[in-house]
Structure 1
């Protein structure tokens, strides 16, 4: 899990990068929760996502948004953080020019940033959005959503009511041939306090279905390394 520093729009950005053994492996970008709420790349949920793609043979990067850790700059209400994400994806792809596609996974604020990024980057083939903050941000930019993806949310979330997630997801238009899959996790809160393992298994199952089998490690390996 090498530490990396790369250029961002406001100076350096700090990350953790795992290069795939296969030069033609796909890429995955992991996006952290809200910088103003203690969000950082070493939060347990971004780390869990990072490890999932690593096991699948992806080149995978997680990083700190501007103003967090050793990343330069100051919080910019999402606009600058979207630029940070675009620079991070560019940096990773510069080392993976034969990657056939990329996935974006984000948690909470990072999920909102990730869904904006996929609207701008046609190479993003799929997404995972955990605890999507549908009651805080406008999602009308998904017009239509250009990729399939999974949205996980809990029915005990005190920050984003699960009814609000359903309401927004039902309104999202999706390009033909793509599907957004919402998955309610009973008993889970916004932070998956006691349900991260369950959420991770739901994501693993989704990736098994939507990725080529060569990117799906045996379940025994998953349990051993998870």
Structure 2
């Protein structure tokens, strides 16, 4: 899990990267929760999903948004972080030019940024959106959603209510062939305290199903 530093729009970006040795391996990028509330690329959910992708033969990148850890710049609450994510995906693709499968996963604030990047990058073929801040941020740009994916949230989430996430998923317009799945975890709060292993199993099951189907 080597540390990597690459250039972003606001200066250097700090990241961790696993490179799969298999030729043409799929790639995945992970986006962390809100920096103002302690979100970093070392968030336990980010860390767990990172290794979930590694175990399935992906080349995987997680990184700190601007102003977090050793990443330069200042937090911008959206536009800047989206630019950081685009630069991270550019870097990942430059090091995996033969990859034909590209996934993105975001947690909380990172879920909002990840879905914006999904709309801008048609090469992204699947997504996992964990605890999206449906009450705090506008997701109306997802009309239609360009790729199939999974939303997961907890029924004890007091940051964004389950009703808000359900409303978001219900409103999503999908294109032909696009399927949006939604899982609500019983007993889980916004941070999936004591539930991260269960969350990872849900995400892994969905990813395995998608990979088998696309194979």
Report the TM range for the smaller structure's normalisation.
over 0.9
Three-state SS of the structure 1 residue aligned to 2:93 is: helix
How far apart are 1:212 and its partner, in Å? Answer: 3.2
Q: Which runs of 4+ in 1 moved over 6 A?
A: none
Three-state SS of the structure 2 residue aligned to 1:140 is: coil
Q: 1:3 to 1:208 in 2, by over 3 A?
A: same
Three-state SS of the structure 1 residue aligned to 2:127 is: strand
TM-score of the pair, normalised by structure 1? 0.93
What's the counterpart of residue 30 of structure 1? 30
Distance 2:52 2:213 in 1: 15
TM-score of the pair, normalised by structure 2? 0.98
**Could you report, residue by residue, the CA deviation over 1:59-97 in whole angstroms, capped at 9, with x for unpaired residues?**
000000000011000001111000000000000100100
Three-state SS of the structure 2 residue aligned to 1:212 is: helix
Distance 2:163 2:91 in 1: 37
Unaligned runs of 5+ in 2: none
- Between 173-182 and 65-74, the greater mean CA deviation after superposition: 173-182
Distance 1:73 1:174 in 2: 36
Distance 1:159 1:86 in 2: 27
What's the counterpart of residue 100 of structure 2? 100
What's the counterpart of residue 162 of structure 1? 162
Distance 2:30 2:146 in 1: 19
Q: Note the aligned Cα RMSD (angstroms).
A: 1.2
**Could you report, residue by residue, the CA deviation over 1:144-193 in whole angstroms, capped at 9, with x for unpaired residues?**
10001111101100101101111111001111101111100011000000
What's the counterpart of residue 221 of structure 1? none
What's the counterpart of residue 78 of structure 1? 78
The within-5 A match list for 1:1-226 is 1-212=1-212
